[in-house]
Amino acid sequence: MPMVFKSDEELAEFLEEVLEKAIKNPEYVEKFKKGSVTLSVELSDIGVYTKKA
Residue 28, judged by CB atoms within 10 A of its CB (0-12, 13-18, 19+), counts as buried
Per-residue pLDDT tens digits for 13-26? 988 988 888 888 88
pLDDT at 1 over 50: no
pTM above 0.85, yes or no: no
Average pLDDT, the chain: 77
pLDDT of res. 53: 58
The mean per-residue pLDDT over the stretch 30-53 comes to 74
pLDDT of res. 43: 78
